[in-house]
Homo-oligomer: A and B are copies of this chain.
Amino acid sequence: MKGAILAIGNELVRGRILNTTSFWAARWLLLEGYEIQEILTVPDELGLIESRLRDFLSQYAFCLVSGGLGPTTDDITNEAVAKALGRPLITNEEMVRRIKERERVQNLPHNPLRLRMARLPEGAILLTNTQAMAGYYIILDKKLLFCLPGVPHEFEHLLKARVIPLLKEKLPVKGAVRSRLYKIFGLREADINLKLKALEDSSGVTLGYYPVLPEIHLSVLIKASSEAETEKLFEKVHHKITEAFHPYIFGHDEDLLEAVIGKLLTSRKETLAVAESCTGGLIASRITRIPGSSNYFERGVVTYSNQAKMEILGVPEEILASYGAVSEPVALAMAEGVRKLAKTNYGLSVTGIAGPTGGSPEKPVGTVWIGFSCEKATVAQCFLFPGDRHLVQDYAAGTALDWLRQYLAYGTLIPRYQFACRS
């Protein structure tokens, strides 16, 4: 089942905003057996949008349009869609009601421009039930046209919650499709590639390999003539992948490493505190992005200065003076210190040199000590992470989080990771 994406917005063709929504849409749709054949980005130009949309609708079973649904005068998607379909624009009373309701709730002054968002092509069916979020679809004979907001989180929400279910219902893929995205942390790309070679030749199996550093994502798409056959093939591939990459697979599909940890901690009724230096709050921030994290996350400290390491964590001044802030004893003292002060089950610590400055011949940029503390023991490992400041921070935060995961899931006290320094 083939489709196309038409992304609308001056900002996209002028290099102001990277078109990530189309990228994610193509990925998620493919996992359900829907292949995107063309992704076209155009500016807010009525005639161009109209002609390209007409062309796509004549060639493909479905089309996703993103952007240009807002209230300002350069939002012209509704008008372009109406023209391309030869249908009039009609005021959608339900949308009017929601816009007014939002103005009331948020105590906004009434702005008549906002009602532009309710002028939709005839036949438009709103995609949400409750929110005044833009987005609708139109059934065209045997084809489907979706118009989604360009704002990434709204687009992604509607894609997963509404577009994919609607496609499955109204344009089902022939045969059976099964897919899974495996999320891997801590293995070398070269090692993964080598192990994948053995899996690549099964017919009906399409593998995709995506470095989303510091993670590696591995997509598996299975197509066969029946549910049963697909399932059989999937089980076989799943077994091989699990065998090859265990225990580095931290989750699949929508799983986030920090959410996986949250579930494990919640089910064990255990708690966590973190002490960060070079990751600067990134670990705490990732953990607290997850709803409900207040149940297991007690505190985080970003002890950027030595003074803060001594005052908040009780790291002894002698240790800082003799070994330096980026050292095994400091990582150990930070992890144990934060765990004991916060009275939590686990403590994580990171101290390192994220760069671009601060490196030395003995401790080059990328050198990071990570500490892990539980009731049983407090341990630390040294890493040398590649890349710029942000990548070093991302690798360090990911490694600390995954370390906790491997301990919670398998009781591994010192997991083996890529970029670990062997001393």
Residue numbers of A with Cβ under 8 A of B are 10-20, 22-30, 35-43, 45, 48, 52, 72, 74, 106, 108-109, 111, 113-114, 151, 153, 181, 190, 193, 208-213, 217, 219, 221, 276, 278-285, 287-289, 291-294, 297-305, 307-308, 311-312, 341-343, 355-358, 384, 386, 388-391, 393
Q: What's the least CB distance linking A272 to chain B, in Å?
A: 10
Specify which chain B residues have a CB less than 8 angstroms from the CB of A343 in the assembled complex. Answer: 307
Contact across chains for A26 and B37 when beta carbons are under 8 A apart = no
Is B27 a contact of A14 with CB atoms below 8 Å?
yes
Q: CB distance B27 to A38 under 8 Å? A: no
How close is A279's CB to chain B, nearest CB, in angstroms?
8
Residue pair B299, A301 in contact (C-beta under 8 Å): yes
**Given known A38-B42, A342-B308, contact A300–B301 (CB-CB < 8 A):** yes
State in angstroms the CA–CA spacing of A334 and B22 once bound together.
42
Contact of A74 among B40, B153, B209, B308 (CB under 8 A): B209
Inter-chain contact B208/A10, CB cutoff 8 Å: yes
CA distance A76 to B17 in the complex (A): 30
Residue on B nearest A302 in the bound complex, by CB: B300
Determine which of B14, B35, B221 lies in contact with A219 in the assembled complex, contact meaning CB atoms within 8 Å: B14
Q: Which 4 A-B pairs have the closest CB atoms?
A: A280-B288, A15-B27, A281-B284, A300-B302
Which of B14, B208, B213, B390 is close to A14, meaning CB atoms less than 8 Å apart? Answer: B208
